[in-house]
Amino acid sequence: MSGFTVMSTVESVAIGNFDGMHLGHRALFEKLGENGAVAVVEHYRATLTPGLYRAKFADRPLHYYDFDKIRGLRAADFVALLREDFPMLRTIVVGEDFAFGAGREGSVETLRSLFEGDVIAVEEVKLEGEGIHSRTIRKTVASGDMRKAAAMLGRPYEVWGEVVRGQGIGARSLVPTLNLECGRFLLPAAGVYKSETCLDGDCFASVTFVGHRETTDGRFAVETHLIDRTLSENEVPWKVSVRWLEKIRENRRFGSLEALKAQIEKDIGAARGR
């Protein structure tokens, strides 16, 4: 047993790491029947949708395998594990480049030879001739090209973070912000972004900064300002999400807080106008 609850009614599964839950992954999910599920092989390198955050973008039940616990399984043993965890399994859906088993010994053809049901291998999904893969989206996010990332994801890139205490300068001398600790999520390139910030299901236009605070203490921070929404102290949630829409400008140092505030006002105007 994998240590997870047996899904006794599941008849089809899509298998992969599924970091990002992007358009390429959705092409696999579309091949699942009514009683389909997603088998996530979690190797803890996921940074677009780490851990349980994949469930935010799935309309199917998710079943997790810890890669470190199954990495030594031979191909035949992994298929046997799938049969055990999904006793009604009739169809397996994978990408055409799927590899599995110790040392990646198994291919799609290996899977077909070991599994008595149907194996559907989905062709690579492309955007303007470029294959859509998690690794490609990670590079795109890291470069700050949020429009391209959204096109590959099929939605804006979204990051969740816990609200933490900031310097206190924002509300006092600049504009009020929520300061976030974003854990394993991959963050875009340093700069200021047009964004949406979501609190308890409600999303508001915002401007979000990521990078080192060059003008003040030099520390790395993620700070989001809600453009037309002021929160009282009692309204601040413990966790929010930020949807990164478009980069407005690079991060840079200003000669004074007054100059920084003037630029922030311009950033807000740019976010409103885009």
HEC sequence for 116-134: CCEEEEECCCEECCEECCH
pLDDT at 2: 41
* 222 bridge partner residues: 210
**Measured distance CA(1)–CA(24) in Å, rounded:** 29
Give the pLDDT confidence score for residue 169 in this predicted structure.
61
pLDDT at 270: 94
Q: What is the mean pLDDT of residues 137-145?
A: 98
Q: How confident is the model at residue 4 (pLDDT cuts 50, 70, 90)?
A: very low
Local confidence band at 59 (pLDDT 50, 70, 90 cut-offs): very high
Which pLDDT score, from 0 to 100, does residue 228 have? 87
Percent share of the chain, pLDDT over 70: 94
pLDDT at position 5 is: 47
Residue 172 has pLDDT above 60, yes or no: no
Pairwise pLDDT comparison (274 vs 80), residue with the higher score: 80
What confidence score (pLDDT) does residue 242 get? Answer: 98
* The pLDDT of residue 143 is above 80: yes
pLDDT of residue 134: 97
Mean pLDDT of all residues in 76-88: 97
Q: Using an 8 Å Cβ cutoff, are 261 and 209 in contact?
A: no
With 80 as the cut, is the pLDDT of residue 65 above it? yes
What pLDDT score was predicted for residue 141?
A: 98
For residue 3, pLDDT beyond 60: no
Per-residue pLDDT at 1 exceeds 60: no
Q: What is the pLDDT of residue 112?
A: 98
Q: Which residue has the tokens 């453009």?
A: 227
What's the mean pLDDT in 77-94? 97
Please say if the pLDDT value at position 274 is more than 70: no
Q: 21-35, 57-71, 174-188, 222-236: lowest mean pLDDT where?
A: 222-236
Query: Model's pTM, two decimal places?
Result: 0.92
Residue range 31-43: mean pLDDT, rounded = 94
* Residue 91 clears pLDDT 90, i.e. is over it: yes
Q: What mean pLDDT is reported for the chain?
A: 92
Q: Which residues contact 239 (CB under 8 A, 6 or more apart)?
A: 160, 161, 162, 163
d(CA 168, CA 8): 53
* Pick from 13-22, 95-104, 171-180, 231-240: least confident: 171-180
> For residue 24, what pLDDT is reported?
98
Q: Closest Cα partner for 119 from 34, 20, 28, 35?
A: 28
